[in-house]
Amino acid sequence: MAWLDALRGIAAMMVVVEHAFKFLLPEARLPVKAVFEPGWYGVMVFFLVSGFIVPASLERRGSVRTFWISRFLRLYPLFGVCVVGVGLLMMAGWDGLHIWWGQRPVALTVSHLMMLQNLLAVPNLVNVMWTLSYEMAFYLLVTALFTLGIHRQSVAGALGLAVGAVVGAGTLPAALLSTGGSGRMLVVVLAVATVLIAGLVAVLTLSRAVRQAGAIVLAATVLGLLTVNQSYPSPGQGLLILATMFAGTALYRADRGEISWNQAGWVALVPLAGIWLTRDEFGLQTATVAAWMTFAVGMLLRHRNIPRSLAWLGLISYSIYLLHPLLLEAVERFWPEPLTVPLALRLPALMGVLALILGLSTLTWRFVEAPAQRLSRRLTS
């Protein structure tokens, strides 16, 4: 699976490029994004990779309990490091937090602990965290489908979500449940947390009927939030993201011989739906096409040796993705108006920031992520 690591590494660096424009190369930002959105390209590659490997992880173990132990220890330790980093920035005088963090602390904290903030119309603590909401939604749906025994219907899932994205574009409501003041948002967040915890507890019980009821609760809650309560990027795009993940799962099943490539070929309609949804944004269209082409090339080359540098980037990709905004925010403290700084200074600064990101991510991989994964293996063995 080293080819998946390579794709993750490429995706993470493209997201860094996207955000570096704002802080160090703002004059290039709009011209580049008009023809190609590097950030969207990066996250779409991430979603395809997750779709390919995450259900495989659950099915290989055959245990919902071990799956969630591994997912928790994969995501949350570094998430905690990121929260500490935000705290350090605030101590240094950074005031970039959304005003709601002072007005609605409980709702925002609980939604982040669930990693479902985008499905609860809550502003993200760090901008890149929005994708974690869709990762978590995917984990919950995969858990529900596995528990119900219909997890192999990946093509149908991908196409159904894609149809929902196209049909619902421009008509599905945004933040329907959470709109109406801080009190209503808190009630929705706490209700969702209660229902999801109850559903997860149910799927871990010994009773088949209770497990299935819990799975239905999980699936209904997640699909309901996706349908009526998303914020950024949009309800249609959110459904497309889930369709993309299930498309990745369909490709995994074809690769394993569980379905034919002809059956898996239907998921080509998913990127076409994405192109239609972004018909007025050429940069997003090219990014969608490029992401799918990159994944296809990765699959074609999956049996070849992967350069060690790319595999290493993949190992530290989660750290790169989650921590790079903090370093870029620190740059803004020194150069709040980058266009007033000569390009001859900003380019070396960009190289320095990239080196710092890679160095910091290597350290967090070694001392946070790797130990957490070793603990995960011990707990699930």
Beta carbons within 10 angstroms of residue 185's beta carbon: 24
Note the pLDDT tens digit of each residue in 181-196.
899 999 999 999 999 9
Q: How confident is the model at residue 73 (pLDDT cuts 50, 70, 90)?
A: very high
Q: Which helix (H) or strand (E) holds 279?
A: none
Domain that holds residue 88: 2-380
Q: Is the pLDDT of residue 169 over 90?
A: no
> Could you tell me how far CA 91 lies from the centroid of its own chain?
28
Q: How confident is the model at residue 329 (pLDDT cuts 50, 70, 90)?
A: confident
Note the pLDDT tens digit of each residue in 231-246.
888 888 999 999 999 9
Q: How confident is the model at residue 381 (pLDDT cuts 50, 70, 90)?
A: confident
Q: How confident is the model at residue 4 (pLDDT cuts 50, 70, 90)?
A: very high
Note the pLDDT tens digit of each residue in 6-51.
999 999 999 999 999 988 899 999 999 999 999 999 999 999 999 9
Tally the domains of the chain. 1
So what's the pLDDT on residue 94? 78
So what's the pLDDT on residue 259? 93
CA atoms within 13 A on the CB side of 306: 25
Q: What three-state secondary structure class fits 1?
A: coil
Note the pLDDT tens digit of each residue in 81-102.
999 999 988 888 877 788 888 8
Those residues whose C-beta lies under 8 Å from the C-beta of residue 77, and which sit 6 or more positions away, are 368, 369, 372
Q: How confident is the model at residue 129 (pLDDT cuts 50, 70, 90)?
A: very high
Q: What is the mean pLDDT of the chain?
A: 92
So what's the pLDDT on residue 206? 81
Cα-only R_g, the chain: 20
**Distance (Å, rounded) from C-alpha 354 to C-alpha 204?**
43
Percentage with pLDDT > 90 across the chain: 74
The reported pTM is 0.94
Q: How confident is the model at residue 174 (pLDDT cuts 50, 70, 90)?
A: confident
Note the pLDDT tens digit of each residue in 244-273.
999 999 999 999 999 999 999 999 999 999
Q: What three-state secondary structure class fits 160?
A: helix
**Distance (Å, rounded) from C-alpha 132 to C-alpha 135?**
5
Between 331 and 363, whose confidence is greater? Answer: 363
Please spell the DSSP secondary structure of 22-88, one letter per residue: HHH-HHHHHHHHHH--HHHHHHHHHHHHHHHHHHHHHHHHT-HHHHHHHHHHHHHHHHHHHHHHHHH
